[in-house]
Structures are given as C-alpha cells and as structure tokens.
Chain A
Amino acid sequence: MRISKRLAPLARRTAVAAALAFAAVAPLAGAHAAQPEQYFPLQSYRVGPYAAGGTGFFGGFIDYMNLINIRDGGVNGVKLTWDECETQYIVERGVECYERQKTHVPGPSAWNPLSVGIAYAMIDGVTADRVPLITIDHGRTDSTDGAVFPYVFPLLMNPYSESSGIINFIGSRLGGDAKLAGKSIVVLYHGSPYGRETVPIYKLLAAKYGFTVKQIEVPAPGTEQESEWLTIRRISPDYVVLRGWGVMNPVALKTAQKVGFPADHIIGNVWSNSEEDVIPAGDAAKGYIALTTQATGTTYPVVQQIEKVVYGAGKGNLADKSRIGSVYHNLGIVNGILNVEAIRIAQARFGDRTLTGDEVRWGFEHLQLDPARVKALGAEGLFHSINVTCSNHEGDGYVTFQQWDGAKWVRISDWIAPDWALLRPIIEASANKYASEHNITPRDCTKETVASN
C-alpha cells in the first residue's frame, strides 16, 4: 500500500514526461507519415558520346514518374522522388554516384544505371545493400537466374534472348529456320562488355541452325569502321547483325552504304534501334531494320497522357518535345511502368508506405503484367507483357522488328518469342559458375524471404 503511494508521484511524472515526449515527436512522425516517398537514384548520362540514349531514357523514366505523381498523387499516396547523378557512361563515375546516392534517406528503391559496365561494378554492392538493380533490355545474361543473382533484374529481354529473337527473325525473312543452314551472318559488335556479351550465344545459334557466323569487334566508341566494313564486303554475308551503341550506329550505316552493303540486310539490336541512330545516317539508313521491345510513336494512351499532363504542366523532361514517343523515350516510359508496378505489387503485400529495397525486390519478383494489365496501364501495343519470377528475372519479354522508312519507324513483324528453352540451360550453367567462383549458395526459389533492411 505504502509503496504504491510512494510510487504514485513517480508514475505521474513518468506519464507526463512520456506524454510530453510523445507530443514532441508526434508532429514529426505525422509530417513524415503524411508524405511518404519512394526514392529512385538515377545514374543518368546527359553529356558524352551516349547522351542521346541517356537523355531519352532517363527523360522517359522521369516523365512517367511525374505522370504518376501529378495524375495519381503518387503510388497509393506514396510520392515518387528521385535525383540525378551524371555518369557519362563511365564506370568509375557510376560507382561514385552509387556511393553518393545510396546514403539517401529513405534508401533507394531500385537502381537503373542503363550501363552494363556500371551494373557489373554494382552487383556486389547492391547484393550487400539488398536493393534491386534493374538492367532493362541489357545486362549480364546469367543474372536472369534469380537464385544466384537475387538483386539483379535484366527485365524484358536479356542479351541471349535478343540474339535468339534476331536469328528467328532472319529465319522468317528467309522463309523458315531451316533456310538458315549454309547462310552467312556477320555480327558487328561494340567493343565493350555490353557488346561482347553475346559472342558465345551467336556461336551456339550458328551451330544449332547451321549458318556460319563471323563476329567483328568495333573499338569503342566506334567512329572509325572502314576496315571492319571492308572485311564485311570481302565476306559478303547474307545478313549483318549490328550490335552497336551510340555513335557507332550511324557510322556503321554510312560505312555500309560506302562499301555497298544493302541497309535492309542489316538487322540492328535493341541498342541500335533509335531515331538518334538513323537520322544522322541520312539516306544510308533507309530500309534498315532493328529489333525493339517497345513500339515507337505517340499513339499509346500512356504516352499521350504524358504529353498532355506532364508536358502540359511544363514539367516535361525532354528539352526537345519532338522526341516524345521516340525509341529511347518510350523505353524510359516502359522502364517507369515496370518500376512503378513493382512498387504497387510490393505495396499490396507490405502496405502503402515507403518500402525497403528488399521489399521492392519482392515486388519485382512478382512483376506479372499480362496483356490485359498492360492495356489497363494504357500501354497496349507499347510492349507485350512481362512475367518475372524468383528464378526468372528476365520475365519472358517479347520482341518485335521495325524498319526505318526514311522518316519514321514502321513495325514489320508481330511480337516474337525468343527461344527461351534453348537458352535457359546455358544461363543456369553460367550462373552456377559465377556462384562457385564467388562462394554463393544459390537460394531456394520455392521459399521466399524478405529482409526489412
């Protein structure tokens, strides 16, 4: 009795202090809760030889995030935020940006460096930080195996799928895959990790379909290609696959014209498919064909909304409005859709709040957008679909082909599915080799775990 009496004032004082402390903290917590944000670090490149790709892609990504913020007030009330750090597509600058941006509060949702070299340098870091690394349409092919690379996502299309899609397309031009036998194909690739990535897969495809392949490297950045095209003229192949990047592409098309190789027998890959690649080549580009994972143009509802809502409000990111709906811009928009939908899917599981990197990773691993959902997002025809799982971080994207008519890209094929079954064992073998070199125990994809960072 007496003890409780003596303790009463103490209890009262504690209660008052606690109330005061709560009153002091509550407004801060409230302010924080009123404006939760989801932060995206953008390692962009707006100057240097690859600026066309950088401004278009990051412009599209930012435009889409702006659309979500302006039109919907964020993703379920969570605002999207971002900042940019210039890399010039140089690896050590990208690494510096990574170190700089990862200290942001709240932490990064996902990294989108749009550079194979930078992505390679970040794999260890993001795995330790538990934040996903997105390499849409490019990246390390074996990172498709999510058991070994839990935080790396070569979304929509990895380089092997791209190569397989191109060979299937050439087969269809010739009148069936059987006709590939005995044909000759030259692959002209950019002298960088990105360019070299597909060397083994073209060898494998050549062995499978019975065509001969000659792979020629163009030293980066690729402003000088006389000797390479003279070699091509000597070989006189049936098709040339152009695996270029940036300034290498228009130079290739012009040089091809000089040595008399027909443009409609050059098939560009996904980083040789933009307006910025063909317009500087002028006449030489007419008839040139290139692969893409997302269609070009402004006829899609989501692109039109960006034009109306974002550019209408004066918040558009592209300095030149005529680039709206261009290849890189639309790729940036598709990348925005995939990132935002991963957030939305993760929110459905974890709640409408600021998510940790690992929770966003969970969202990406459940990023399943069928054609109906793509249509609901206003992107029907812009891209086909995606179906990411824990073990398949690519998500089985479809590809299509477009031809440059001298003024615009015209789609000339249906959505084509690459030969995933053929590629999967090579991807797993390569991923397992990486795992043993780096002492990684591949995780079991039947069990799911999420760390709260």
Chain B
Amino acid sequence: MSSTVLERTTTTARLPRSHGYWGPAVVLAIFALIIPQIHSDYLFDAILTPFLAISLAALGLNLLTGYAGQVSLGSAAFMAVGAFAGYNFLLRVPGLPLLGGFALAGLTAATIGIVFGLPSLRLRGFYLAVSTLATQFFVQWALTNISWFSNDDTSGVISPPAMHIGSLSLESPVRRYLLCLGVVAVLTFLAMRLVSGQTGRSLIAIRDSELAARVLGVKVLRTKLFIFAVSSFYIGVAGALWSFAYLRTVEPDGFDLDRSFEILFVIIIGGLASIRGAFLGAAFIVVLPLLLSRLGATILGPGFDSGLVDLVQKIILGALIIVFLRVEPAGLSALLARLRFPARSEQ
C-alpha cells in the first residue's frame, strides 16, 4: 500500500512542467512541415490520419481514466456520437462551417458524457466500467434503430459530405491529414494546459483518494462531471475525424466494444496519466500492425497466404505487448522517460 502511494507521489510531483512545450512543438513542426513533403497517399490516408484520430480519442480517455481514475468502456460510443452528430449537424444546418460541425459534434458527445458520467458519482473501479458499458450498448442501439440519425439510409451507413474550410477543399489526403493534425494539435495543447494546472491536480487527487481530495477542498462531484464532459468532447471530435477524414463513411458497427477496448489498450500501453502516452500507444496499436503486415507481405511475396501472415502478425504484436509491459509496466511513455533520463529513474 505505502509503495503505491509513494509511486503516485513521484508521478504527481513531476506533473506541472512549465517548460514542457519545446519537445511537443518540435514534433509538431516535423509533422506539420516536413512530413507533408512526402508524396505518398498511403502514408496519409492509411497510417497518419487514423493514427491522429485514435490518438485524440486516447488522449480524451486518458484525461478521464489516466488522470481522474474513472475507468470507462464507452469510448467507442462517444466516437459514434461525435461522428453521427457531426454528420447530422453538417447535413441539416445549412452553411455550418466544417470546424463548427466538429465543435458541435464534440459538445453533443460532452452532453451525453455528462449524462452517462452521473453513475461515477456513486460507482468506482470495475463497477463504473460496467456501467459505462451501458453507454456502449445504448448508443449503438439508438444509432442503429432510429433511422433519423442516418438520414433514413436503408443500410444505416452514411457518407459525410465533401469537406471544405471556406473555399479551400479538403479532398486530398495531405489536406485531410493537416486538418486532423491541426485539430489534434490545438486540443492537445489545451489538454496539456488543463492537466498542468489546478484542474490536473484536482483530478489526480480524486484518482488517488477521493476522501482526501474532498478533505482538501476539491469539489469532487463537479470535477468528475467536468472531466467526463471534457473527455467525451475529445473522443467525440476524434470520432468525427475518424469518420470524416479517414473512413469517409459512418456506420454504428464501426464503433463497437472492440474499439472501446482498443482505445483503453492504447492508454494502458502508452502510459496512463501522460499526454504523450496516448500518441505512443496509438502508434503501437494502430501503426505497428500495419507495418508488420506490410513487412510480412514484402518478405513473403504476393502469393503467400495472407490469412497466415495476419495470424503471425497478431502473435508478434501480442508478444511485444507482454515484453513492453514487463520491461515497463507504466507504459511506453515511462519507458521513453527512462531511456532519456536513466539516472533519474533509478532514484
């Protein structure tokens, strides 16, 4: 017991880093200026765009689960809410700009997030996780069975309208990627501000001991609902990006429980309570399987049984997860920190 408390104290102590913006800024500059020079539709459409969308969703979940300690299995549902809300706002409100549609999508998800966050006031841990499953099932059910949400499409699949900001069309892979990057960069910056300030400390206080937090004067109820709303907003915007910029089609089945688990695994592997953990984890869960599968296809040639390649790839990925978590249970983010500051981590 005492050791876990100590461990958490060290994490908390490291949190408010005012000088911590240089690294992310450099990474952003590389992704915004250098990478778009590469001429490869595949890189943008198949790797970077889904990576950014999942990173954003994971970031949202990390605020809720990593920082505030509220385990949620409803992430995919909030993505679905964001995707369908974005579609419906842009379809039904004439003249609504794209980014306005995304913001409204996030706000809709945030509203739903507050409603389904209410049980968190009474439930904790696994019990809360199970109650968030309700979101998952309810949202999928509603989107499937109420045909208004899909504009009465017979299959329940909808394709978002063409995207543009002002007169600038966003129909090329690089532009769609830059749109995602812009949205993700702004929201990431806001999240960094959030967690390094008073709210971030309140969140961690609630996570570590709700009773102690209350004694210290943290408004537990308000903070919990607030972080449910913020987290859902992030995940909702991620859902809109996923369906608008990446898949270009929205269907409720794409946001099933598997997706919720995927996002949860992203933050566990990337590192709970860390901003960059969401990105590292997304790279591991989203990008690495693609690289492995391409590598397999290149090595074995086109005639090889693609199903077998797929199974082998899963085995490798599973083994890597075990290895990584064995080496550093706190995730890739902590692993990276340890590689950079070997001396400090030995204290």
A residues sitting closer than 8 Å to B (CB atoms) are: 44-47, 51, 54-55, 82-86, 88, 91-92, 95-96, 99-100, 103, 116-117, 120-121, 123-125, 140-141, 191-194, 196-200, 217, 220, 430, 437-439
Q: A197–B251 Cα gap in the complex (Å)?
A: 13
Is A96's CB under 8 angstroms from B290's CB? yes
Given contacts A121-B248, A124-B159, 13 further A-B contacts (CB under 8 A): A46-B306, A85-B306, A86-B306, A99-B42, A99-B45, A100-B46, A117-B253, A117-B254, A120-B159, A123-B159, A124-B248, A191-B253, A194-B155
Contacts of A92 in B (CB 8 A): 50, 246-247, 254
Tell me the nearest residue of chain A to B258, going by C-beta: A90
Tell me the nearest residue of chain A to B253, going by C-beta: A192
Tell me how far the C-beta of A154 lies from the nearest C-beta in chain B, rounded to whole angstroms.
Answer: 13
Q: Does more than half of chain A's interface fall in helix, strand or loop, or is it mixed?
A: helix
Is B249's CB under 8 angstroms from A120's CB? yes
Tell me how far the C-beta of A310 lies from the nearest C-beta in chain B, rounded to whole angstroms.
Answer: 14
Is B159's CB under 8 angstroms from A83's CB? no
Of the candidates B251, B254, B293, B307, the one having the most CB atoms from chain A within 10 angstroms of its own CB is B307
Contacts of B305 in A (CB 8 A): 46
B residues sitting closer than 8 Å to A (CB atoms) are: 41-42, 45-46, 50, 91, 144-145, 151, 154-157, 159, 161-162, 246-249, 251, 253-254, 290, 293-294, 297, 302, 305-311
Tell me the nearest residue of chain B to A142, going by C-beta: B154
Tell me how far the C-beta of A117 lies from the nearest C-beta in chain B, rounded to whole angstroms.
Answer: 6
Of the candidates A46, A82, A96, A117, the one having the most CB atoms from chain B within 10 angstroms of its own CB is A96
Contacts of B156 in A (CB 8 A): 193, 196
Tell me how far the C-beta of A113 lies from the nearest C-beta in chain B, rounded to whole angstroms.
Answer: 13
Is B294's CB under 8 angstroms from A100's CB? yes
Contacts of B294 in A (CB 8 A): 100
Is B310's CB under 8 angstroms from A91's CB? no
Contacts of A438 in B (CB 8 A): 159, 161-162
Tell me the nearest residue of chain B to A94, going by C-beta: B247
Is B162's CB under 8 angstroms from A199's CB? no
Give 29 pairs: A residue, B residue, CB < 8 Å, sorted on A: A44-B307, A51-B307, A54-B307, A83-B302, A84-B306, A85-B306, A91-B249, A92-B246, A92-B247, A95-B247, A96-B46, A99-B42, A99-B45, A100-B42, A100-B46, A103-B42, A123-B159, A124-B159, A192-B253, A193-B156, A193-B157, A193-B253, A194-B155, A199-B154, A217-B144, A220-B253, A437-B161, A438-B161, A438-B162
Contact of B162 among A121, A192, A439 (CB under 8 A): A439
Contacts of B159 in A (CB 8 A): 120, 123-124, 438
Is B162's CB under 8 angstroms from A120's CB? no
Is A85's CB under 8 angstroms from B297's CB? yes
Contacts of A199 in B (CB 8 A): 154
Q: A192–B155 Cα gap in the complex (Å)?
A: 8
Is A99's CB under 8 angstroms from B41's CB? yes
Q: A191–B137 Cα gap in the complex (Å)?
A: 13
Q: A226–B165 Cα gap in the complex (Å)?
A: 50
Tell me how far the C-beta of B255 lies from the nearest C-beta in chain A, rounded to whole angstroms.
Answer: 11
Is B306's CB under 8 angstroms from A44's CB? yes
Tell me the nearest residue of chain A to B42, going by C-beta: A99
Q: A196–B156 Cα gap in the complex (Å)?
A: 7
Q: A54–B306 Cα gap in the complex (Å)?
A: 11
Tell me how far the C-beta of B160 lies from the nearest C-beta in chain A, rounded to whole angstroms.
Answer: 10
Q: A193–B46 Cα gap in the complex (Å)?
A: 23
Is A86's CB under 8 angstroms from B42's CB? no
Q: A362–B246 Cα gap in the complex (Å)?
A: 30
Is B155's CB under 8 angstroms from A196's CB? yes
Tell me the nearest residue of chain B to A91, going by C-beta: B254
Is B307's CB under 8 angstroms from A86's CB? yes
Tell me how far the C-beta of B66 lies from the nearest C-beta in chain A, rounded to whole angstroms.
Answer: 25
Tell me how far the C-beta of B238 lies from the nearest C-beta in chain A, rounded to whole angstroms.
Answer: 14
Given contacts A47-B310, A51-B307, A85-B306, whether A121 and B155 have CB atoms under 8 Å apart is no
Q: A116–B162 Cα gap in the complex (Å)?
A: 21
Contacts of B293 in A (CB 8 A): 86
Is B155's CB under 8 angstroms from A99's CB? no
Tell me how far the C-beta of A209 lies from the nearest C-beta in chain B, rounded to whole angstroms.
Answer: 20
Is B246's CB under 8 angstroms from A86's CB? no
Q: Which 10 A-B pairs have the closest CB atoms?
A: A46-B307, A83-B302, A193-B155, A99-B46, A84-B306, A86-B306, A86-B310, A121-B249, A193-B157, A47-B307
Q: A117–B144 Cα gap in the complex (Å)?
A: 14
Q: A55–B246 Cα gap in the complex (Å)?
A: 28
Is B155's CB under 8 angstroms from A140's CB? yes
Is B50's CB under 8 angstroms from A117's CB? no
Tell me the nearest residue of chain A to B309, going by C-beta: A86
Q: A47–B50 Cα gap in the complex (Å)?
A: 23
Q: A55–B305 Cα gap in the complex (Å)?
A: 10
Contacts of B41 in A (CB 8 A): 99, 103
Is A197's CB under 8 angstroms from B155's CB? yes
Contacts of B144 in A (CB 8 A): 191, 196, 217
Contacts of A46 in B (CB 8 A): 305-308, 310
Q: A91–B170 Cα gap in the complex (Å)?
A: 22
Tell me how far the C-beta of B92 lies from the nearest C-beta in chain A, rounded to whole angstroms.
Answer: 12
Tell me how far the C-beta of B295 lies from the nearest C-beta in chain A, rounded to whole angstroms.
Answer: 12
Tell me how far the C-beta of A19 lies from the nearest C-beta in chain B, rounded to whole angstroms.
Answer: 34
Is A120's CB under 8 angstroms from B155's CB? yes
Given contacts A95-B247, A121-B247, whether A88 and B46 have CB atoms under 8 Å apart is no
Contact of A141 among B154, B246, B249 (CB under 8 A): B154
Tell me how far the C-beta of B56 lies from the nearest C-beta in chain A, rounded to whole angstroms.
Answer: 16
Contacts of B46 in A (CB 8 A): 95-96, 99-100
Q: A46–B307 Cα gap in the complex (Å)?
A: 5
Tell me the nearest residue of chain A to B91, going by C-beta: A437
Contacts of A123 in B (CB 8 A): 159
Q: A191–B306 Cα gap in the complex (Å)?
A: 27
Tell me the nearest residue of chain B to A51, going by C-beta: B307
Of the candidates B42, B155, B248, the one having the most CB atoms from chain A within 10 angstroms of its own CB is B155
Q: A88–B50 Cα gap in the complex (Å)?
A: 18
Tell me how far the C-beta of B110 lies from the nearest C-beta in chain A, rounded to whole angstroms.
Answer: 25
Contacts of B290 in A (CB 8 A): 96
Tell me how far the C-beta of B261 lies from the nearest C-beta in chain A, rounded to whole angstroms.
Answer: 14
Tell me how far the C-beta of B138 lies from the nearest C-beta in chain A, rounded to whole angstroms.
Answer: 13
Q: A44–B253 Cα gap in the complex (Å)?
A: 20
Of the candidates A51, A220, A437, the one having the most CB atoms from chain B within 10 angstroms of its own CB is A437
